[in-house]
Every structure is written in structure tokens, then in C-alpha cells.
């Protein structure tokens, strides 16, 4: 039996390189949720959210925690970070249409899973699932709580979360974040803020350059 010679078209065919694979992939998670507003983000914030593959970022974080017993209990259930100043690493892994974030402050890990549902972002943090509406205002990415469920079945009144604030922004060309959460009766749960170096993402240096469809 003789072996068929490749055609000219087959001879010219080459495997898809990483840049082509990036272009062939769907838009990253935050770009899908924000749509065209994704391009209104400052460069450092967009860089954190635009990759399709695993990446690791390093920085610093300063954490203030509530002192009441109920505040401490809720913080324990949701793996909120301990008080103090810490070195911070954030590992972001893309798993299909979802992202898995693992934030590490010393020996403490704060994992969560994020995905899109319609035009909302959803996050599973321990036994609690959050629904967020994202917006971009004056160069800042803001997370607005739209709903909360415990164990996937028990809805909590969204008004309880009026004092939850989360922002991402660019200061001096560096990615920064500021998050605070307080609840009725419990008072302050946590306030943390800090910065990440996003120019070198460790496992991934690719960027999203194509316009949104």
C-alpha cells in the first residue's frame, strides 16, 4: 500500500500558535459581563481581567476586621482575610467559562469561583453565592451586590448588603483595589485595600487586542 502525498494546502498548514488560539477564544469573563464598557477600564485593571489562561499576580494588602462575635463568625464562614498588612498573591485560573481565584496572604487562602449569568457576575465564596452588577465610572470598576444566597437555596435580603463596596482602579499605573463590607447587627466585617503588579503575570503575558463584538 502506498502512502498518499500531502496536498499543497496540507503542506502549508501549520498548528495554531498561542496568539491565534487567544484570538479564537471567546472574550474573557469580565469582558463578557461588561461588554463595550470593558474598554473604558484603565490599562492596569483591564490587564488583570483580559487573559484567557492561568496567571499569578503579587502585591500587598492591608486588612481591617470587625471585632464583634457575629462579624468574626461571618468572616470565618466566608474565609475573609486576617487583619494586618500582608504580602499578597492572587492566582487566577480560567476553567471553561469560569474563573477560579485564590488569594493568599501568608498561610491564609481566600478562594472563590466566578462566572457570568446573563449580564451579571456571580461569585461563590465559601457557602455564600453573590450576584453582582458591574459598572465603570470615572475609570473605576465597581461591583454592586444584586443578590445573595446561602448554600445555594436561602436568599438573603439584598438591602442587608447596601454597605458592601468594591472598586478596582489604576493609581500611578498600578492596579489597586478597595473593598469594604458591613452588615446590619454585625457591623464591619472587613475592609481591605492594596495593590497588585499586573505587568508581569507570571504564567501568561498575552493580552486581548480585538474589539468586542
* Residue-wise pLDDT tens digits, 24-79: 577 889 999 999 999 999 999 999 998 788 899 999 999 999 989 999 998 888 88
115 in any annotated domain: yes
Q: Do the domain assignments include residue 97?
A: yes
Is residue 15 in a domain? no
pLDDT recorded at residue 23: 55
> Is the pLDDT at 164 greater than 90, yes or no?
yes
Can you tell me the mean pLDDT for 133-151? Answer: 94
Q: Is residue 96 part of a domain?
A: yes
Number of domains in the chain: 1
Q: Give the lowest-confidence range in 64-73, 99-108, 198-207.
A: 198-207
Start-to-end Cα distance in the chain: 50
pLDDT value, residue 157: 93
Give the three cell numbers for residue 194.
492594596
Name the grid cell of 127.
457557602
pLDDT of residue 205: 40
pLDDT at 199 (0 to 100) = 78
Asked if residue 69 belongs to a domain, the reply is yes
- In angstroms, the CA 160 to CA 63 distance is 22
Residue 6 lies in a domain: no
What are residue 206's phi and psi, to 5 degrees?
A: -80, 160
Listed in sequence order, the residues at least 6 apart from 116 whose beta carbon sits closer than 8 Å to its beta carbon are 29, 32, 33, 97, 122
In this structure, is the dihedral angle defined by the CA atoms of residues 156, 101, 82 and 120, taken in order, positive or negative?
negative
**Contact present, 166 and 142 (Cβ < 8 Å):** yes
**Sign of the torsion formed by the C-alpha atoms of 199, 61, 190 and 129:** positive
| pLDDT higher than threshold 70 for residue 20 | no
Position 41 in a domain: yes
C-alpha cell at 52: 484567557
173 or 11: which leads in pLDDT = 173
Helix, coil or strand: residue 156: strand
Domain of 154: which CATH number?
Answer: 2.40.128.20
Q: Is residue 202 part of a domain?
A: no
Domain that holds residue 41: 27-197
The pTM for the full model equals 0.77
| Predicted confidence (pLDDT) at residue 91 exceeds the cutoff of 90 | yes
For the chain, state the CA radius of gyration.
Answer: 20
Split at pLDDT 50, 70, 90, the class of 213 is very low
pLDDT at 1: 52
- How far apart CA 79 and CA 124 sit, in angstroms, is 12
Task: Please indicate whether residue 31 or residue 19 has the higher confidence score (pLDDT).
Answer: 31
Amino acid at each position: 500500500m502506498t502512502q498518499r502525498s500531502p496536498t499543497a494546502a496540507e503542506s502549508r498548514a501549520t498548528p495554531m500558535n498561542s496568539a491565534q488560539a487567544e484570538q479564537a477564544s471567546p472574550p474573557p469573563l469580565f469582558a463578557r459581563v461588561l461588554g463595550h464598557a470593558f474598554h473604558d477600564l484603565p490599562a492596569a485593571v483591564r490587564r488583570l481581567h483580559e487573559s484567557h489562561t492561568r496567571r499569578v499576580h503579587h502585591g500587598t494588602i492591608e486588612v481591617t476586621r470587625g471585632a464583634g462575635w457575629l462579624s468574626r463568625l461571618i468572616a470565618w464562614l466566608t474565609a475573609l482575610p486576617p487583619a494586618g498588612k500582608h504580602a499578597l498573591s492572587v492566582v487566577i485560573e480560567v476553567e471553561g467559562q469560569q474563573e477560579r481565584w485564590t488569594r493568599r496572604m501568608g498561610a491564609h487562602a481566600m478562594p472563590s469561583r466566578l462566572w457570568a449569568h446573563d449580564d451579571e457576575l456571580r461569585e461563590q465564596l465559601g457557602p455564600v453565592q453573590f450576584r453582582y452588577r458591574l459598572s465603570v465610572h470615572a475609570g473605576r470598576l465597581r461591583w454592586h451586590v444584586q443578590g445573595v444566597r446561602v448554600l445555594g437555596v436561602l436568599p438573603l435580603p439584598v438591602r442587608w448588603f447596601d454597605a458592601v463596596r468594591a472598586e478596582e482602579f489604576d493609581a500611578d499605573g498600578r492596579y489597586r483595589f478597595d473593598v469594604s463590607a458591613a452588615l446590619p447587627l454585625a457591623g464591619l466585617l472587613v475592609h481591605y485595600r492594596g495593590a497588585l503588579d499586573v505587568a508581569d503575570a507570571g504564567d501568561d503575558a498575552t493580552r486581548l487586542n480585538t474589539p468586542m463584538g
